[in-house]
Amino acid sequence: MQNIIQELTNELGAEKILLGEALSKRFHHIWTMHVPLKAKAVVLPTCTKDVAATLKICHKHGQEVIVHGGLTNLVGSTQTTENQIVISIEKLNAIEEVDVCSRSMTVGAGVILQQIQQAAQANELQFPLNFGAKGSAQIGGIIATNAGGLRVLRYGMMRQQVLGLEVVLPDGTILSNLKKIIKDNSGYDLKQLFIGSEGTLGIVTKAVLRLHEAPRSRCSAWVGIKDYKNVLAFLRFIDKGLAGALSAYELVWKETFRTMTSPPSTMKSPLPLDYGYYVLVENLGGDQNKDTETFESILEIALQKNLIEDAVLANNSADLAWFWQIREDVRVLSAQADNDHHFDISMPPPLIGEYVEAVSGDLRQIEEVEEIFTFGHIADGNVHHIIGKKNDSAELTKRINDIVYGKIATVGGSVSAEHGIGLDKKAYLHHSRTPAELELMKTLKRALDPKNILNPGRIFDF
């Protein structure tokens, strides 16, 4: 190990290698900043060549490497041991170009999502990906996990926002294809191998991102609905009425919404707290006055048709901030859930209502389960649970996991809609993937990383 550290120091310079006491100021997740990082060293590359040199040395010695981005993952992806080396991409943080004509942006992997959004906005463009950790999550990690968020309904997952990638393979080979084009059928689309691979096949160092024209209007409303049947009916109704301009349809179950908007939360509810479901809808368009009129008209008709029970429209920017903070700040739920246990699953939207009811009923039979908070990006089939429990034992965790994941295969769903598999979910991956699919994944891993040095143990073991 000392030989590896010396080689890295000789190649990169001592200022890019953190050792010993310097590691006490590092951590493996943004929610556990009080826990010092366990690692042999942290490497802080400042360019792609640094990443390539580091991996070349580690590959030669068979040294395991864990990649760190913004450290906001929820599946144990960035946990390390004392014998592993961390490569942090935080210093690959340059926005190299905003090309207005091609509507693209070229960025380093360490650029934070919110900075990308702001750079696009400064050029009257939009990078549509958005979620609660936007102020911390780095684009390299977002690409590696194929993150989703609040506007997948209209714009798709991270995969749909990537035009080109630069990636360093486990042996230090640099694979660069930083094109700005949407159409390219010249053989295999190799970038797709790395989007969603959780850093197990290569390290993303740069990306060309697809931008969109910035909307000139934004309408949002909280809506109260009595039953899940009408949640689906209203989704179809408003999406059709807005002719594809619906950008978000966020569903929150009754007890979850009550917790989000009642003390000790500082957020107040814009609606009475006695509806079965609460939906936050958003429309992005081109004319604020006309779009607001259309939005209001659709809500009024929905009320007349008894699709919804109540609705409150955001009247200004302050209302918009208030409405969306209710939905985005899930820390309110975590604060009310001891030993909080997070889930991120997906299935066809028509099956979600019965699934959640069945799972919640089974979970309530466990004495140690104290809270069940459910919400999600329901239009794309994504459901989140935050479970509060009396203890954090492995036995209780497994009992809860078995209930939540056990029915996934029967509904044609996924144990991970947008957070990835990491270390925490790999025992349940078989609920979403066939043996043939798992074997092909392992074949790809063996082909690109035969020494299994890059993010080993993530997704699966082999």
Residue 320 pLDDT: 96
Tell me, what CATH number does 309's domain have? Answer: 3.30.70.2190
Residue 2 pLDDT: 66
Tell me, what CATH number does 18's domain have? Answer: 3.30.43.10
Query: Do the domain assignments include residue 457?
Result: no
Query: Do the domain assignments include residue 460?
Result: no
Query: Do the domain assignments include residue 456?
Result: no
Under a CB-based contact definition with an 8 Å cutoff, are residues 86 and 39 in contact?
A: yes
Residue 23 pLDDT: 87
Judgement on whether residues 128 and 225 belong to the same structural domain of the protein: no
The residue among 213, 241, 263 that closes a domain is: 213
Q: Which of 342, 344, 366, 362 has its CA nearest to residue 354?
A: 362
Domain residue limits at 205: 95-213
Q: How far apart are CA 17 and CA 5, in angstroms?
A: 8
Residue 1 pLDDT: 53
Judgement on whether residues 99 and 123 belong to the same structural domain of the protein: yes
CA 36 centroid distance within chain: 24
Q: What is the pLDDT of residues 395-427, one digit of tens each?
A: 999 999 999 999 898 999 999 999 899 999 999
Q: Which residues of 188-211 are buried (b: 16+ CB within 10 A; e: fewer)?
A: eeebebbbbbbbbbbbbbbbbbbb
Judgement on whether residues 209 and 276 belong to the same structural domain of the protein: no
Tokens coding 192: 């797709």
Residue 27 pLDDT: 81
Which residue type sits at 150? L
Tell me, what CATH number does 156's domain have? Answer: 3.30.465.10
Residue 176 pLDDT: 96
Residue 32 pLDDT: 76
Residue 370 DSSP code = E
Locate the DSSP E strands across 123-189: 125-126, 162-168, 174-177
Judgement on whether residues 255 and 226 belong to the same structural domain of the protein: yes
Judgement on whether residues 352 and 436 belong to the same structural domain of the protein: yes
Judgement on whether residues 254 and 314 belong to the same structural domain of the protein: yes
**Strands 65-68, 85-88: pairing kind:** parallel
Judgement on whether residues 207 and 221 belong to the same structural domain of the protein: no
Helices and strands: H and E segment counts in the chain: 14, 18
Judgement on whether residues 380 and 322 belong to the same structural domain of the protein: no
Query: Do the domain assignments include residue 458?
Result: no
Tell me, what CATH number does 352's domain have? Answer: 3.30.70.2740
Average pLDDT of adjacent 10-residue blocks, the chain of 462 residues: 87 94 83 82 97 98 94 85 94 98 98 98 95 92 93 94 98 97 94 96 98 96 97 97 93 97 94 97 95 96 97 96 92 89 94 96 96 94 95 94 92 92 93 95 97 96 84
Query: Do the domain assignments include residue 455?
Result: no
The total number of structural domains that make up the chain: 4
Judgement on whether residues 224 and 291 belong to the same structural domain of the protein: yes
Residue 299 pLDDT: 97
Query: Do the domain assignments include residue 453?
Result: no
Residue 374: phi and psi, rounded to 5, are: -125, 135
Report CA-CA distances (Å) from 12 to 23, 90, 138, 388.
Answer: 18, 16, 23, 45
The residue among 180, 213, 246 that closes a domain is: 213
The residue among 296, 328, 360 that closes a domain is: 328
Q: State the burial class of residue 435 (Cβ atoms within 10 Å of its Cβ: 0-12, 13-18, 19+).
A: exposed
